[in-house]
Amino acid sequence: MTGTGGAVATKLSIGGDFVDALAGGTIEVLDPHDCSVLAEVAEARAEDVDRAVAAAHAAFPAWAAMPAAERGRLLLRLADAVEAHADELAHLETRDTGHPLRDTAALDVPRTAATFRYFGGMADKVEGAVIPVERGFLNYVEREPLGVVGAIVPWNFPLMFCSWKLGPALATGNTTVLKPAELTPLSSLRLAELIAEVGFPPGVVNVVPGYGPTAGQRLAEHPDVAKIAFTGSTATGRRIVEASATNLKRVQLELGGKGANVVFADADLDAARNGSAFAIFHNQGQACIAGSRLLLHEDVAEEFLDGFLELARSIRLGHPLDLSTEMGPLTSPMHRDRVLSYVKVALDEGAEILTGGGSPDDPRLAQGCYVEPTVVRADPASRVAQEEVFGPFVTVTTFRTDAEAVALANATEYGLGAGLWTRDLSRAHRMARAFRAGMVWINSYKRVNPGSPFGGTGQSGYGREMGFEAVHEATEAKSVWVNVDADLPPFYRRG
């Protein structure tokens, strides 16, 4: 494979060694631009996951006992290493996912470094608490690491999600086994090399690409794994909860979404069009927080749509390595077919395709996983307005009153991200409170930051990544009672 600045890592990373899978199997990794084979990587199965968990388990006591500042220093070094290899990592991520290079270079890689740096800085600032209890006693609470954390990530932002999962787990003294998605393991494997280079002790981070029903399932049910941090679909999230019952491990779930993006009549329509296009078309719509349901006030709906459709039609589709490309291919042929199947669902349901709805005509893109930006006027109760399409596919519905906007925004089983556009400050805050979502953006969309909690409610899962919330998710509280000078009641004293 060329264009990434070097050979691509293809072996499992277990206990500090780079090894083949025990059964010798491999996974073909495809280039979504033309479906050619980019690389073959070792395919971890249950026995390889067992080896990785054993390595993480063995590394845990020393890692947990290491001074927090030292753990932090390694994470800071990793952040520096990601930045030093930014160009290479951006190319690798682009070739593996189809995500345009201008985005991986400007967003994914810098955000990955920023997340490692944030949690590196936090490692020695995780404080306990002293609780005001009855006189004569001191009660303090310490936060302890859990043990081995299994991290299972999807294919839409593979590198960035590694940092979201590894950052808080490692900072707080846990060791990890990371299972990247089978479609997009390349940046995680390269990250494993950087992790070794900057000096993490062997076994603290293990990376085992493999298929969900084999490697992922084994990690989720493994008795020596203390927690699974999962990002992926709601259906898989349910399976992970079931598998976790073996040892009652802790589970954190970042699942699907169907984000409402609400444009009120007083909004700055230019800003709203631009932000709404980013909300749905960035990363080809393959984002759990995508603004995939546009709710437009009926007074401005047509004016908004005129410009929005023009913008959607003007988005430059092309080779993801071309810096002028604004939208690349979807990440896999299966996923392209799934997204296109929703166009048929929309037509069967009587929805109106306002633009897009197919693959682009350009013969240079014919072998790849490209889908046009697609805008569909749909009934809010229809399948296309309820189910997560996870592509450049947005439904449009109109509303009249604020109450109607809230009812429509909350009318799905998901509760992850939501956006709203208005110049009315009081409405903005009222709506933020009323929307059932883990994250709300006012006059913007899809902002994330390592310090700001990320996660959802309802069928979007539970638990939070990022910020101090993530530190709590990665640790257990231990309450310690000290009798300083309390007179104990006699209880069972005799004589």
Catalytic residues: 254, 288
Which of 4, 231 has the CB closer to ligand NAD?
231
**240 contacts ligand NAD (rule: CB under 6 A):** yes
Distance between CA atoms of residues 402 and 377, nearest Å: 20
Minimal distance in Å, beta carbon 335 to ligand NAD? 7
Strand duo 374-377 + 352-355: pairing: antiparallel
- Interface of this chain with ligand NAD, residues 206 to 235, rule: CB under 6 A: 211-213, 216-217, 220, 231-233
**236 contacts ligand NAD (rule: CB under 6 A):** yes
The dihedral built from the CA positions of residue 394, 396, 401 and 407, taken in this order, carries a sign that is negative
Residue nearest to ligand NAD (CB): 212
Q: Which among 396, 398, 445, 405 is positioned nearest to 290, based on CA atoms?
A: 445
User: Phi and psi (nearest 5°) for 189?
Assistant: -70, -35
Minimal distance in Å, beta carbon 389 to ligand NAD? 10
Which of 222, 319 has the CB closer to ligand NAD?
222
Encoded amino acid at 6, one letter: G
Tell me how far apart the terminal alpha carbons of the chain are, to the nearest angstrom: 84
Task: Considering only the C-alpha atoms of the chain, give the largest distance between any 2 of them, rounded to a whole number of Å.
Answer: 97
Task: Give the list of residues 6+ apart from residue 83 with CB closer than 8 angstroms, or none.
Answer: 109, 110, 113
Stretch that binds ligand NAD, among 46-54, 93-101, 248-256, 259-267 (CB under 6 A): 248-256
Instruction: Retrieve residue 305's tokens.
Output: 């749509």
Which of 146, 466 has the CB closer to ligand NAD?
466
Which residue in 255, 279, 437, 439 binds ligand NAD (CB under 6 A)? Answer: 255
Which of 201, 451 has the CB closer to ligand NAD?
451
Which of 449, 479 has the CB closer to ligand NAD?
449
**154 contacts ligand NAD (rule: CB under 6 A):** yes
> 332, 28 in Cβ contact below 8 A?
no
Which of 244, 276 has the CB closer to ligand NAD?
244
Which of 92, 305 has the CB closer to ligand NAD?
92
Minimal distance in Å, beta carbon 1 to ligand NAD? 21
SS3 12: strand
Which residue in 370, 390, 421, 441 binds ligand NAD (CB under 6 A)? Answer: 390
Q: Which among 162, 190, 180 is positioned nearest to 75, based on CA atoms?
A: 162
CA angle (92, 93, 95) in 5-degree steps:
65
Residue labelled with tokens 């749905």: 280
**182 contacts ligand NAD (rule: CB under 6 A):** yes
Any bridge partners for residue 27, and if so which? Answer: 41
Residue labelled with tokens 């990955």: 112
Encoded amino acid at 288, one letter: C
Q: Which among 166, 154, 83 is positioned nearest to 119, based on CA atoms?
A: 166
Site string for ligand NAD, 288-327 (x = CB under 6 A): x---------------------------------------
Residue labelled with tokens 């199997």: 25
Minimal distance in Å, beta carbon 461 to ligand NAD? 6
- Interface of this chain with ligand NAD, residues 406 to 445, rule: CB under 6 A: 416
Minimal distance in Å, beta carbon 246 to ligand NAD? 13
Residues that bind ligand NAD (CB under 6 A): 152-156, 179, 181-182, 211-213, 216-217, 220, 231-233, 236, 239-240, 254-257, 288, 388, 390, 416, 456, 460-461
